[in-house]
Structure 1
Amino acid sequence: MLLSLVVHTYSLRYWLPAAVMLGTAPAYLLSWSVWRLLSTVLPSRLYHTVDDRVYSVYQSMVLFFFENYTGVEIVIYGDIPKKKENVVYVSNHQSTADWIIADMLAIRQNALGHVRYVLKDGLKWLPLYGWYFSQHGGVYVKRSANFDEKAMKKKLSSQTKLGTPMYLVIFPEGTRYNPELQKIINDSQDFAAKEGLAVLKHVLTPRMKASHVAIETMKEHLDAVYDITVAYEGTLTADGQRHPAPTMPEFLCQECPRVHIHFSRLNMREIPAEPVFFRRWLHERFEIKDKLLTTFYDPEDPEKKGRFPGESQTSNLSLTKTLPSLLILGGLTLPMLFTESGRKLYLNTWLYGTLIGWVWVSVSP
């Protein structure tokens, strides 16, 4: 009986925030749809401005759960600019929670609504979310030979011409690094050796296409590239073995006490335009990430284990930045659930919103 209660209580750590985040999605989509309909006769720039504000409300609620609710400690190495900037955010990739880390940094610059993602093509089929991420400026890409460079350029160019604020998040590895999937790591290392590139231990060999297209297409619009290296505390065992990073459910279950984020701001002048030189440059940036993670997981000085080199600061997220969003979305959602007509509207939003989204993504390039 006691064990069942413990297990049930533990599962609520995940199911409660998941239910709220998913449960408020129809109300959010309805609010956005009303604005999208009204904005058809208004300038596109105005639509994007309000869309960014609305998006920041939902993402602030997400951060309430991933930061305030979990109590995770965010440790930042390097100086994050106080002002908003148009940037491409390049990070290592090891967890489904990685995209939350981008939100964590963006909200500290008051740029949360500007976050857009380069995502794997299969994610566009997510109910409601997959369609909306594209509407918000996200880009879906296929791997290797199926990569559609023209479609990506077209989408980013159209947003650049409108002057859309940009915080574009890219994970160049393409696949999450998981120390338990040794075949993927070996294949990545073999490819690097074959191409004459440095073999990396704690990250995968980066793919350069999406990053190169994004930076070249928007270079006149961008202020900088943010080079981010993330390490999740609690992924190193007592015998020194690295474990997989926490998944989103594990993160919500408070299994990660601290997230270490190494931040580097790169000036656009540092980034080569030619593909062959860009590829080398990107790989060199991942060599730096690999050294940082080696220092974190296996330093020469055991006392430095579990941290990046250099000065760090703990950054706490104020409830005033997240709790109001939870109250707003909750206030929009709950009335829908207390009446029969409201429940029908709620369910129809899930159903027809998903179907319309799937039709749209199936015919779009």
Structure 2
Amino acid sequence: MSQSITYYFRYIAKHIYWLLIKLLTLLITLGSYYAYAEYTIVILLIQIFIKSMCSRQFYIDCVDSIYQFYYRYACLLIDYWANIKITLYGDIELVDKLQANNVLALCNHQCGVDFFNVHYLLNRFGKLSRVRHVTTEPFQYIPLAGHSFFMHSCIYLKRGKGDKFDPTQMIKTLTYLETNNIPSWIVLYPEGTFYDKVYTDVLADNRRYMNKIGVQPFKHLLMPRSRALKTIHKQFGHRFDAVLDITIVYPNTRAGNGLRRSTPSLIEYFSGYHNLVDIHVRLIDVRQVPKAEEELDNWLYELYRQKDGQLSQYYEQNRSISEIFDCPPGQEYRSDPRTTLPSLLGTSIVIGFLIPNPLYIYNIIVAIVLIITLIEVFIILTKC
């Protein structure tokens, strides 16, 4: 194959390739929900088979690997579908070098997109298989995502009558993680719900509550709730090697003059409307986290009071993340397609067996993408 033919093939294939990738990702999403029942049955059968035929440790490793494989597909969507520019700040290199099996990550919470950005960040650290989100119990009923979280031993927070906190399910999951010595990077959103100006009732209730307990209401965060943190710290705290303080900022929400636009919805995010994300990470020595419950309350409040002050500088003084957090300029990051593309192709093949036969176009696109991928790999290997 001559150099000129190789060049033109790769030029044309590149544009066709990513066009087909976008179409394929759309069909995967639609197909996944269309074939949700079949997908769930297949996953449950695989789960039962592995549990009955293999050791518990092998089952845990398989579940973690499947979770990582599945959600790397979302990382590919962020990079090549929505073309989101994610910039990382803070102790990124320190976390890269961190030899830790168990970590507690505390993150501000603005919208549903936060889940994907945290996944993206921890995939950057090579810890996506160890992520255990703390989320509310109704989340497990969301098609696909809810079942994957449950299967992966994510921690469901249950509320009883009158919004009363019930730690029973959390304790059960944390005990399971500890008993089986499962490495876990537990992600907790202490605010409990989204901070967004569209949720006027939530913001008003938060202001009333903070005034009631005699503290100044935050401008850009909700009052952090410590009940889940206390439960995690009591049951699992002795296993943590470090704590991460994560702050996610959506630059397109900065409207100027101290004003703030609404945070992105999932549709806005994956359509590329909100195409900028800044993430600051601070590594905290686990020994700084107090053990006494009252001290833990104060520690969490101070952490979020400081974070709110930093966000106030961002929105009201138009300062950069580097200036506010006193850190070097951020580094734009994109996930490695060698790890995310196999996830897309693997997911597409699985879904291809489940969606109805009339969608032959789906199978044709998968075949073309696979062929172009194999030819590109062949060209690289033979150095044509």
Q: Note whether the superposition's TM-score is higher than 0.5.
A: yes
Q: 1:35 Cα shift?
A: 4.5
Shift of 1:193: 2.7
Greater C-alpha Rg: 2
Give the drift of 1:190. 2.5
Are residue 124 (structure 1) and residue 140 (structure 2) matched?
yes
Structure 2 distance, partners of 1:152, 1:49, is 21
Q: TM-score, normalised by structure 2?
A: 0.77
The letter of the residue matching 1:108 is R
User: Once structures 1 and 2 are overlaid, which stretch shifts more, 329-338 or 302-311?
Assistant: 302-311
1:35-71 deviations in Å (ceiling 9; x for gaps): 4422324332221111111111110011111233211
Post-superposition CA distance 1:66-119 (Å, at most 9, x none)? 233211111111123125631122111111101111101111111111112111
Question: In the TM superposition, what is the alpha-carbon distance from 1:124 to its structure 2 partner?
Answer: 2.3
Matched, 1:23 2:10: no
Contact 2:86/2:334 (<8 A) preserved: yes
Q: Which residue of 2 aligns with 1:133?
A: 149
Partner of 1:106: 122
Q: 1:266 to 1:33 in 2, by over 3 A?
A: farther
CA RMSD of aligned residues (A): 2.7
Cα distance in 2 between the residues matched to 1:334 and 1:168: 33
Instruction: Structure 1: state its 5+ residue gaps.
Output: 1-12, 343-365
Tell me the equivalent position of 1:348: none
- Structure 1 residues 153 and 18, CA, compared in 2 at 3 Å: closer, same or farther? farther
Structure 2: stretches of 5+ with no match in the other structure: 1-20, 361-384
Q: 1:14 to 1:231 in 2, by over 3 A?
A: farther
- The structural deviation recorded for 1:210 is 0.7
Residue type of the partner of 2:340? T
Q: For the residues of structure 2 that align with 1:198 and 1:15, how far apart are their CA atoms?
A: 49
Deviations for 1:116-174, whole angstroms, at most 9, x for unmatched residues? 21111222222343233222111222347532223311210121121111121211111
Q: Distance in 1 between matches of 2:355 and 2:191?
A: 42
**In the alignment, does 2:50 pair up with 1:38?**
yes
Answer yes or no: is the 8 Å Cα contact 1:295–1:305 preserved in 2. Answer: no
Matched with 1:270 is 288
Q: Which has the higher helix share?
A: 2
TM-score (norm 1): 0.81
Contact between 2:31 and 2:355, CA under 8 Å: does it hold in 1? Answer: no
The 3-state SS of whatever aligns with 2:183 is coil
Structure-2 separation of matches of 1:269 and 1:76: 25
Structure 1 residues 308 and 248, CA gap change in structure 2 (3 angstroms)? farther
Q: Does 1:55 align with 2:73?
A: no
CA change 1:243–1:14 in 2 (3 A) is: farther
Distance 1:175 1:338, change over 3 A: closer
Show CA shifts across 1:237-276 (max 9, x none): 2554201110111100101221111111122211112221
Identity, in percent, stands at 26
Distance in 1, matches of 2:150 and 2:319, equals: 45
2:176 equivalent to 1:158: yes
After superposition, residues 261-340 of structure 1 pair within 5 angstroms as 261-299=279-317, 302=318, 304=320, 308-309=324-325, 310-311=327-328, 312-337=330-355, 339=357
The alpha-carbon deviation at position 19 of structure 1 amounts to: 4.2
Query: What is the match of residue 185 of structure 2?
Result: 167
